[in-house]
Amino acid sequence: MNLIITGANRGLGLMLVLEAAKRGHTVWAGVRKVSESGSLKDMARQYPGKIEIVPLDVTNEEGISSLAERLHKEGRSIDSIINNAAVLIGREHSLEELQIADLERTMDVNVYGPIRMVKHFMRLLPSHGSSTIVNVSSASGSFERAYGGDYSYAISKAALNLFSQQLHHLLEPKGSRVYAVHPGWLRTDMGGPQATNDPSMPAPGIIDLAEGKIECERANVFVDHNGKTLPR
């Protein structure tokens, strides 16, 4: 299986690359700065021929288009797109203190980034048959679990969930699967040291979803890393 994973140089993204490579899959590991990908480079040496580190800034549509065009010309196909790259900024601000620039930056990465990725890489998915798009989301994007706070992040994840539902309706007739996946509260730069889970914990389940090993009800797009349906 061929996968492309964004935000691949640390945290959950790094663990997803590792899990996929361990299973023998080929991974294009997207990072903003290849020079700052030491752990990923070590991993690529550990799994030769399985991991290609590629410069991929999800806010740069020209760069995304260029990579997609390169892979297309090489005759490559993509079985799974995992949109993992995200930011969490300004969470300490109340609504009265909310910086609109933080909201705009968050939407650019967390929502427009996955949209750009799917826009350009969707043509590399099989025209019919099994393929999967996984958008790494969050329970904070649930309408039923909405709370007062984390405005930029929560709003962006709610929008990502809606985009995932739209993709489901677009691609399901072709046999493709689309999920917005809540991976849990993870000990990463984003989640902080007080989080309950290591980023290696949800990685196997997310790759299972990408492989189609976990059977979810087709209409249920918003799930956890084990495929359990979450409240919208």
Across 20-45, average pLDDT:
95
Beta carbons of 223 and 210 less than 8 angstroms apart = no
Beta carbons of 6 and 29 less than 8 angstroms apart = no
Question: Looking at per-residue confidence, does 188 or 208 come out higher?
Answer: 208
Rounded (5°) CA angle 203-135-104: 125
> What CATH superfamily is the domain 56-203+211-224?
NAD(P)-binding Rossmann-like Domain (3.40.50.720)
Percent of the chain with pLDDT over 90: 82
> Residue 128 above 80 pLDDT?
no
Question: Half-sphere exposure of residue 36, counting CA atoms within 13 Å on the CB side?
Answer: 10
pLDDT digits (tens, 9 = 90+) for 141-157: 999 989 999 999 999 99
Prediction pTM value? 0.96
Residue 229: CB atoms within 10 A of its CB come to 13
pLDDT score for 132: 96
- The residues, any chain, with a CB within 8 Å of residue 70's CB and separated by 6 or more, are none
> Residue 27 above 80 pLDDT?
yes
Across 40-55, average pLDDT:
97
Domain range summary for the chain, segments of one domain joined by +: 56-203+211-224
Residues 145/149/151/154 CA torsion (nearest 10 deg): -30
Local structure of residue 197 (DSSP, 8 states): B
State how far the Cα of 160 lies from the Cα of 163, in Å rounded to an integer: 5
C-alpha closest to that of 230 among 166, 136, 142, 130: 142
- Assign 197 a pLDDT band (cuts: 50, 70, 90): confident
pLDDT digits (tens, 9 = 90+) for 69-92: 999 999 999 999 999 999 999 989
State how far the Cα of 200 lies from the Cα of 124, in Å rounded to an integer: 28
C-alpha closest to that of 137 among 206, 222, 194: 222
State how far the Cα of 8 lies from the Cα of 56, in Å rounded to an integer: 10
Q: What is the mean pLDDT of the chain?
A: 94
> Residue 191 above 80 pLDDT?
no
- Assign 169 a pLDDT band (cuts: 50, 70, 90): very high
